[in-house]
Amino acid sequence: MGRLDQKTAVITGAATGIGEATAKVFAREGARVICADIKEDDLNKTVESIRSEGGEAEAYFVDVSKEDSVTSFADALKETYGTIDILFNNAGVDEQGGKVHEYPVELFDRIMAVDLRGTFLCSKYLIPLMLDNGGSIINNASMSGSAADLDRSGYNAAKGGIINFTKGMAIDYARNGIRVNSLSPGTIETPLIDELVGSKQEKMGQKFREANKWIAPLGRIGRPEEMATVALFLASDDSSYVTGEDIKADGGIMAYTWPGKMLIEDEEWKKDTE
């Protein structure tokens, strides 16, 4: 028996990275997985991969930042499935924008539209499909929503907003049997990292990954599958008394106040991670 047998799970941003990994994990645990994304080719590959392993999955082309796209998606789900049990608001974008006085307004608006507004829109229009039977909502936040990154104020603000939005939703829907939690990943090896800092084959990408080996107490970048298993815990009855929480899965980065000794005695610290 799978931990999500007979459940219908909706995952946004399911084409690649954490969303793709979570869709596959949920399907292996018995869920019918509704995969939504704007990357049509990658989305279809994710669904085909799940089906090839005997899982059940469907693809929907959805732009979470657009209200009409989300309402059409919600209408289609209601007509086809009636209800859903799990919603993973995972879709998001990120880009370095500079200091606030230099930060492009259009970039700030785009990140807010996809990351925060998208989480709001999908929740607003899909929660009605959960009201009768309850369920679990997981909002993908970030450690950047609890602390901050240099030159990325838009992303910091959006992810911080998601964490507090999650708490409000948890209070709003607790008596409806709907649990709401956020997942805050650290640095995870996804296509987004390749876009932000470069791939493993590029010099800057290599430097970034090397730095993370000693910045993270666990000594490495995380894997999408590791976030998927945390999402599975939050989606399943294993977390039946957990709501309104932000679960950090960051390799221990948020556990320290400043990396003092790691900088001062960096050779010893780096050696320990090799």
Pick the catalytic residue from 60, 155, 173, 256.
155
Q: Do 29 and 232 touch, CB atoms closer than 8 A?
A: yes
Which residues, at least 6 apart from 92, have a Cβ–Cβ distance to it below 8 Å? 13, 114, 115, 118, 140, 158
Of the chain, the end-to-end C-alpha distance in Å amounts to 39
Q: Determine which helix (DSSP H) or strand (DSSP E) holds 185, and give its type and residue range.
A: strand 178-185
Q: Do 222 and 189 touch, CB atoms closer than 8 A?
A: yes
Concerning whether 81 is annotated as a catalytic residue, the answer is no
| Whole-number Cα distances in Å, 228 to 26, 55, 98 | 8, 16, 31
Q: Return the exposure string of 35-65: e unless at least 16 CB atoms fall within 10 Å of the residue's CB, then b.
A: bbbbeeebbeebbeebeeeebebbbbebbbb
Which residues, at least 6 apart from 215, have a Cβ–Cβ distance to it below 8 Å? 253, 259, 262
The pair phi, psi for residue 84, each rounded to 5°, is -130, 160
Neighbours of 255 (CB within 10 A): 10
What's the CA dihedral at 43, 49, 52, 58 to 10 degrees? -30
Q: Residue 8: beta bridge partners?
A: 32
The tokens of 248 are what? 């950090």
Q: Which residues are catalytic?
A: 155
